[in-house]
Structure 1
Amino acid sequence: MSLNPYDLYDTRSLLSQEERAVHDTVARFTDERVLPIIGDAFDEGRFPRELIPEIAELGLLGSSLPEEYGGGGLNSVSYGLICQELERGDSGIRSFVSVQSSLCMYPIFAYGTQEQKQRWLPSMARGETIGCFGLTEPHGGSDPANMKTSAKKDGGDWVLNGSKMWITNGNLADIAIVWAQTDEGIQGFVVEKGMPGFAAQEIKHKMSLRASVTSGLFFDNVRVPDANRLPNVKGLKGPLGCLTQARYGITWGPIGAAIACLDEVLGYTKERILFGRPVAATQSAQLKMADMARRITMAQLLVVQLGRLKDAGTMAPTQVSLAKWNNCRMAIDIARQCRDLLGGAGITTEHCAIRHAMNLESVITYEGTETIHQLVVGRELTGINAF
């Protein structure tokens, strides 16, 4: 019996019928709609926003939220499979869906009022309202507690001042979930496009996530009504709770990027003849590709169990950190090795390896750098905080 080279341990057999259907649907969307255009979009530095209505129609925005708010009521493994297949296309497409679903719709659902949920979530699920998530600041990076953006109460409003950086979807967004220091601790606010004093500036000259919109957000005495404050959480646990949701999706996404690179290089090395034989017939190439398959298999088993823990309500943030660390490192190493096996052709975006390798430089950095996640695991092991 021949094995699936991209699923050597048959993790698909661990999936329910619904999970398989989700996987197949998103895989087909990626094959038919994303892959034909994503290379050009990356070259042009353009997010293919024409895909948003189709992404929404497939139910990929807020897919884990209840149906009453426009979500699909899908379980965590299904959401992970969505992330995996979208990132097989490009990290920028998965990032768009992750931000909309986990960093914008989730906090409104988890921390917002009933009125806020009804006002924003259904239109966000339809892709009519796009969100972004404002936590990272220019000086802050991995230390969100060192937040400078502030919100001061003034009558029935809050006055926001400060800035955020490296914000996915920033210039696309109709609303921004912004975290700011207040006299009562860090709180979240829904800042709407067009509010006086609020501006988004797209970041140019990127060599990574080129098919994604990345921006800086700026707040100059922006008046936000108290009705736009997320009242049901205070402190860092609010934004960190959102990041746990998004990081979970990121544990799955890089598997898709790694599979795309391995798939490409398997075909290429069988066709390219050097010294009288296919590159795939050499021991060095087979050792490299076997190691790629080993690491992909380990990552697949890791995320399926993580998803089951999440659905059971027993998932710990440290477990997410371990999987994000392992799977991002796995994918970026595989993308680089595949680029090498492609030879000179590997430096062009006619092949996907260099595009995924550059994208993964961002994925391994955002929502917790590799070092941060290593230290999270170290703290769990020792009981000592080394941050």
Structure 2
Amino acid sequence: MERRFNPLDLSDNAQGHQICLPVEFVQALAVANSLQEVLDTVSQWLYQLFDAERASITLRDDADFLKIYSIRGNKAIPLDFRVPIANTLVGRAFTEKTVLICDELDKSTELDCIMLAQHGMQTCMDAPLLYGDVCLGTLNVAHKKSYYYSELHAIELQCLANWIGLNISLRLQLKELEYLASTDHLTGAANRRVFTQKIRQAITEFHENGQSFFFGLMDIDHFKMLNDQFGHSAGDYVLQRIVAISETMMTSPGKFFRIGGEEFAIIFPEQSEYEPLRFFNDIREAIALAAMDYDGIPISVSVSIGFTAMHIHDNTPESLLRRSDKALYQAKLAGRNRVHMFNSAQA
């Protein structure tokens, strides 16, 4: 009812065996722009190459579940179903890093096999997506006939899994590098590099499409005093909490960035239903009222915000930064824990 194949043994048995892949398949992988495109391409061709009734790809979601990222054919196990690693055939292929073939799905007691059998499948084959000693997920095919897949099929599926595993790993590493390059490591907020890109993009869209926006600078009041009194770890905690609070206050078009130290930038598209002064005050008030407790010590924190509107003569971020900085200074001068909008009379 079940056959097992060690990937290393399959490699030994495959000496001299050749796999012929359609040029369209190789070309589609070469031009794929995202990991999802890669997975969709692979599942599409698995479906054809293995004469499958169903082809799918899973990747590790967390310690207990695999996530299905792409399906072709029979939807016995739907795309939004989180597949338990325990008590499933695909979970065992993943944890044991072994190719598994179940030849009579209707006799299996494992969850995924039961679900496949209930939708007319009788054979399934799962291969681990390996990158070195790491298993990233699985390639899976199923057919309505019992005992449909052979050892030769297992060799070919594992060979594809090794190739695709390398492709996926490289793309995941690239995605991680992109995340690290664009994210403040302490708070998880978008960093100054991304801010520079987004503010220039907003300025361009204003001049080309008339999409107006407001730009604000936010600074934590007496942050140095907080660090001196409670220590830098407490300061890090406060930065993380302020980012978490601020990002929950952002509307979907708004953008929030940590641009250095205790200073943050906000790009807020003009919206008739939400006045900018109220928007910035809501953020300020949410932070002032937040209960912050660091290692059993209650900490009260406030922020000051200065903001300005985009003007027709603004062609670079520097003018927006200069006006918002002046408004921020006025908010500090007025007693802190305040929001101040730049007034042209200040120029």
Question: TM exceeds 0.5?
Answer: no
Question: Normalization by structure 1: what TM-score?
Answer: 0.26
The structure, 1 or 2, with the larger RCO (C-alpha pairs under 8 Å, 6+ apart) is 1
* Greater C-alpha Rg: 2
Higher helix share: 1
Q: Compare the two structures and name the one with the higher strand fraction.
A: 2
